Structure 1
Amino acid sequence: MGKIIAIANQKGGVGKTTTSVNLAASLGVLEKKVLLIDVDPQANATSGLGIDVDAVEVGSYQVLEHTKSAKEAIVSSNAPNVDVIPAHIDLVAIEIELVDKEEREYMLKKALQDIKNDYDYVIMDCAPSLGLLTLNALTAADSVIIPIQCEYFALEGLGKLLNTVKSVQKIHNENLDIEGMLLTMFDSRLRLSNQVVEEVQKHFSDMVFDTIIQRNVRLSEAPSYGESIINYDVSSRGAANYLNLAKEIIKKNL
Structure 2
Amino acid sequence: MDFTTNRLKNLPVTTSFPDAICSLTEIENFILDHNPGFYGPIPSCITKLPNLRLLIITDTSLSGSVPNFYNHTNIIGINLARNHLSGTIPPSLSTLPNLNYLDLSSNYLTGTIPPGLVHGSRPSLVLKNNNLTGEIPNCYGWVDFQIIILGNNRLSGDASFLFGKQKKTVNIELNNNDFEFDFSKVEFSEYIYGFDLSHNKIYGEVPESFATAAGLYFPKLSFNRLCGELPQGGNMWRFNSEVFANNACLCGNPLPPCSISAPAPAPVSGSGF
User: Scaled by the length of structure 1, what TM-score is found?
Assistant: 0.28
More helix by share: 1
| Structure with the higher strand share, 1 or 2 | 2
Larger Cα-atom Rg:
2
